[in-house]
Every structure is written in C-alpha cells, then in structure tokens.
C-alpha cells in the first residue's frame, strides 16, 4: 500500500490522505484548509489527485477540516462513493450546506464591498455542488467491513463528535490505522473513544500534542465565567458550529441554569442551518452519554436563529445573553458581525471553547490581538477573552497516549499529522519517550510505502 499526505501534514486542517492498494485508490478524509492564507489558497488549486481516478472517499467525521473539500472534489469530477457512518452523513447534511452558504455569503460581501482582488469573487463551491456531494454518500455501521477491490475497511467509534470514527484499512498484506480526531475519555456529551486493536502503520492526530487540558470540571469552569459576565449584564459570544460542540455547550448551560449557577438568560444559536438537533442526538443515542429527556432539555436550551434579518436583529439586543454562532475559529460566518457589534465593549466577553488554528482570527484573539480585520475593516477587541480548554472535543496528548497504550498490535511505522508544527513535534517526542516509537511528521505531498 502507498500513502500520500495531501493535507493535515504540518498543520491541523485540510485532512486528506491518498491510499493506494488492493487495486484501488481512495481518499481518507477530504477536508478544507483553513487559517493561514498560504493554506487556504490550496483549496483553490487543482485537486491534488485527479478526482476521476479515485474509487472512493472514506470520512472519519463531518467537521469541515475533514469533509469540507468534498463538494469541490465532486464538482471537479469525482464520481465514486463517499463512505461514512450514519452520524457523519447526518451531520455532513447540515455542515456542508452551511459551509456553501457561508462561502456564497462571503463572495457576495466581497463583491459588494469590492475588497477582493478577484472580480467577481466566486465561492469555492455552491449549494448545488453540496447536493451533488451528498447524493454520493453511502453509510456503513461501525465494525462493518467495506470491501473495495483488495481493500478491507472498518470504522470504529472515536468519540469526538457524533459519527466520528477511526479508520482501519487492510490491503496488500499490511494494514494502517487512521486515528481521525480522537475524543476525550470524559467528555460531558460524547462517549470515550473505543480502544482499538492497532495496526502495523499508524497515522495519528496531534492537535493538542503539546497541551494538557485542565482536569477540573468544564461545567464548573463554564459556570464561573458565565456567572461573572452575565452578572454584570454582559453578552457572551461563543464561536462554534451549529451542531457538535454547540450541543455540549447547551447541555452544560441547561444544567447551570437548572442548578441556579447562572441566571435564566436568553441563549441564541445563530446559523442559517441552526436546527433543533434533538432528533439527531436521539437517533444516535449509543454514541453519547445522555438520556432522551436530557437530549430534549439540551436542544431546547437555545432559540434557533435562521434568517439573515433575525441574525442582524440580535446585534440590537442588550445583555445579559449568550450568542453561539459559527464558525468555530472565526474564519467566517455570523460570529463575525457579532464581533463587529459586541467585541468593542469591555462589558462583553468572547469565550473560546475549541481549537484555534494558526492564522485564524480565533488564534489572533487568543494570542491577545487588540484588533481583527473583518470584511475589510479593523474591529477593536476590547471585550474580555476567555478560553475553556476542558470543553475541547479533542483528547490531549496524554489522553491519546493512554488510548494508544491499550492497543495490542504495536505499530512499526507512525506518522504524526493534524497538528501545528510545535504540537506535532512535541507529540512525536512524547511517543518516543513513552513507547520508544520513532514517529515521523510527514511533509505535505510526501508518499510512503506501507510495509
């Protein structure tokens, strides 16, 4: 088998691995590059592999940095099957149209304000491209085998997000395990990643390769910061997509309200695709920890905001309130116009609950930038900045280490991906110290033969 790293090599976004073996060519994940401009420009280049020559795409999960390039791949000639779990398919059916909508909105905005060098500015893909991509999805159960020529592919639960999976592929007398994004052992919402047997070759993520999450209860941390900001009448902005981490936030917010830790303030989930996700969480109850009743409480904890007019109207409201809007790293989406409206006021707060990749507005704010550029203008960030790492959907390096330690088959080759360079390098060294593994960090475009 041959493996080529077409994304998430030396960076956290753009996950894409070309795997050739058993007479087939498949992509494991098909993610968007986000963050640094030099990375985002890769989304606009010709596809790194001729889409017509690919037999299939296998998705680990629905986050856009793993699935968001699919519509572009399909528009460029991919006609094979897109294999995923049902959970991933259900979430992709919400996240991909959301992504197309935001890109079309950004292109419209750029044309109106004429700040793009390209005239007219075009979206990377449209809702029509997304529909074509969604039509190619085929679902598979966890542990069911997909036979593709001489390849045998199996998915196992990775926690992290509904439907999220590790992917194990056997072909040509060897095997490889892709960790995908690994969830946390004690996430409030999602179950722990299931232990896996292992494989001769391992491709493992390293998002938090150099950071440990605080061990204190994220609900308590959230309660403390929310009570303080809401108590002074402030607005708390939380960048997150409509489905995924948002529900974990809503669950904790509902519990904090019920216990009287925070006041019963309005909570808005603002996204064009904002949906009551009760049905989705109920349909996948084996993947999370909460009861049907709590699913309902969680999903009812917010008012869903759909239209652009309703979204803009939120900017005229006063605190205390909680606003959840995409995107999670503030690379686009409705969170941006909330930042314009509310970030200049020191009474308000911006709460980061997810990973902020290099080059994103989220990273700039997290590192202390006192202004960010939004739609061509500089916006002062004078509001309080807060971060709760314990809300992350990613395992930290010790948690991934423990998950790897449970494998009975030890890898002969280890590739560390999906991490910014300092995180990937720290994780590479950690694997050496803890297990004696000589892991490598592949470069973008590298091809290796798996033995």
**Cβ distance to Zn ion smaller for residue 43 or 179:** 179
Comparison of 42 and 245: residue with beta carbon closer to Zn ion: 245
Shortest Å distance, C-beta 259 to Zn ion: 30
CB of 161 to Zn ion, least distance (A): 6
Least Å from the CB of residue 104 to Zn ion: 24
Give me the numbers of helices (H) and strands (E) for the chain, helices first please: 14, 21
Looking at the Cβ atoms of 63 and 89, the one nearer to Zn ion is 63
164 vs 176, which CB is nearer to Zn ion?
A: 164
Distance CA 326, CA 86 (A): 23
Lookup: tokens for 370: 């006192």
Smallest gap from residue 219 Cβ to Zn ion (A): 22
CB of 82 to Zn ion, least distance (A): 17
* CB atoms near residue 405 (< 10 Å): 10
- Please say whether the dihedral angle defined by the alpha carbons of residues 209, 290, 90 and 331, taken in this order, is positive or negative: negative
Question: Closest distance between Zn ion and the C-beta of residue 123, in Å?
Answer: 23
Q: Shortest approach of Zn ion to residue 61 CB, angstroms? A: 6
Q: Which residues of 329-345 are buried (b: 16+ CB within 10 A; e: fewer)?
A: bbbbbbbbbbbebbbee
Q: Min. distance of Cβ 249 from Zn ion in angstroms?
A: 16
Dihedral through CA 282, CA 287, CA 291, CA 294, nearest 10? -70
Query: Exposure pattern of 216-251 as b/e (b: 16+ CB <10 Å)?
Result: eebbebbbebbeebbeeebbbbbbbbbbbbbbbbbb
With respect to Zn ion, which residue has the nearer C-beta, 339 or 391?
391
Closest approach, Cβ 400 to Zn ion, in A, equals 14
Distance in angstroms (rounded) separating the CA atoms of residues 45 and 282: 40
Taking the complex as a whole, how short is the minimal distance between the CB of residue 378 and Zn ion, in angstroms?
Answer: 31
CB 182 within 8 A of CB 158: yes
Q: How many CB atoms lie within 10 A of CB 301?
A: 22
- CA dist 114 and 93 (Å) reads 32
Euclidean distance between CA atoms 180 and 166, whole angstroms: 5
CA separation for the pair 80, 55 (Å, rounded)? 5
CB of 15 to Zn ion, least distance (A): 9
How many Cα atoms sit within 13 Å of 403 on the Cβ side?
A: 27
Q: Of 24 and 63, which CB lies nearer to Zn ion in the complex structure?
A: 63
| DSSP per-residue letters across 39-102 | HHGGGGSPPSS-GGG--EEE-S--SHHHHTTHHHHHHTT--SEEEE-HHHHHHHHHHHHHHHHH
Residue closer to Zn ion by CB (options 35, 51) is 35
Nearer to Zn ion among residue 181 and residue 363 (C-beta): 181
CB 74 within 8 A of CB 52: no
3-state secondary structure of 353: coil
Choice between 63 and 184, CB closer to Zn ion:
63
Q: How far apart are CA 173 and CA 1, in angstroms?
A: 9
Reading the block at residue 250, the tokens are 């809503």
For Zn ion, the closer CB: 63 or 72 = 63
Complex with Zn ion: residue 63 or 168, whichever CB lies closer: 63
Applying CB under 5 A, which residues contact Zn ion? 63, 181
d(CA 1, CA 175): 8
């Amino acid at each position: 088998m041959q493996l080529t790293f077409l994304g998430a090599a030396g960076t956290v976004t753009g996950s894409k691995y070309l795997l050739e073996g058993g007479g087939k060519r498949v992509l494991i994940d098909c993610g968007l590059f986000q963050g640094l401009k030099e990375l985002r420009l890769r989304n606009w280049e010709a596809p790194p592999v001729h889409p017509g020559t690919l037999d299939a795409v296998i998705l680990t999960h629905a986050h856009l940095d793993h699935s968001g390039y699919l519509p572009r791949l399909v528009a460029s000639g991919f006609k094979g099957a897109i294999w995923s779990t049902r959970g991933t398919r259900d979430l992709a059916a919400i996240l991909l149209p959301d992504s197309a909508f935001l890109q079309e909105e950004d292109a419209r905005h750029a044309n109106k304000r004429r700040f793009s060098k390209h005239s007219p500015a075009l979206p990377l893909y449209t809702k029509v491209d997304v529909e074509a991509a969604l039509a190619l999805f085929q679902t598979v159960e966890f542990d069911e085998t997909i036979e593709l020529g001489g390849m045998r592919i199996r998915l196992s639960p990775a926690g992290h997000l509904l439907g999220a999976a590790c992917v194990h592929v056997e072909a040509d007398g060897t095997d490889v395990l892709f960790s995908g994004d690994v969830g946390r052992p004690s996430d409030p919402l999602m179950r722990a990643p299931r232990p896996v047997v292992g494989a001769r070759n391992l491709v493992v993520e390293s998002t938090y390769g150099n950071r440990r999450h605080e061990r204190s209860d994220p609900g308590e941390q959230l309660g403390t910061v929310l009570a303080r900001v809401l108590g002074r009448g402030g607005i708390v902005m939380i960048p997150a997509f409509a489905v995924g981490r948002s529900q974990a936030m809503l669950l904790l917010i509902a519990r904090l309200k019920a216990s009287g830790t925070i006041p019963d303030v309005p909570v808005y989930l603002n996204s064009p695709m904002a949906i009551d996700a009760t049905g989705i969480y109920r349909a996948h109850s084996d993947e999370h920890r909460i009861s049907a009743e709590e699913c309902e409480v969680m999903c009812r904890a917010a008012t869903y905001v759909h239209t652009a007019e309703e979204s803009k109207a939120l900017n005229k409201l006063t605190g205390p309130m909680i606003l959840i809007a995409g995107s999670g790293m503030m690379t686009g989406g409705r969170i941006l116009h909330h930042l314009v409206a509310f970030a200049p006021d020191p009474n308000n707060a911006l709460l980061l609950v997810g990973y902020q990749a290099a080059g994103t507005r989220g990273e700039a704010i997290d590192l202390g930038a006192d202004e960010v550029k939004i739609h061509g203008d500089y916006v002062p960030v004078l509001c309080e900045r807060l971060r709760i790492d314990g809300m992350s959907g990613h395992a930290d390096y010790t948690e991934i280490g423990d998950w790897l330690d449970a494998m009975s088959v030890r890898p002969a080759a280890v590739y560390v991906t999906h991490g910014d360079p300092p995180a990937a390098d720290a994780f590479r060294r950690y694997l050496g110290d803890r297990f004696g593994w000589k892991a490598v960090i592949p470069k973008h475009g590298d091809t290796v033969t798996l033995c």
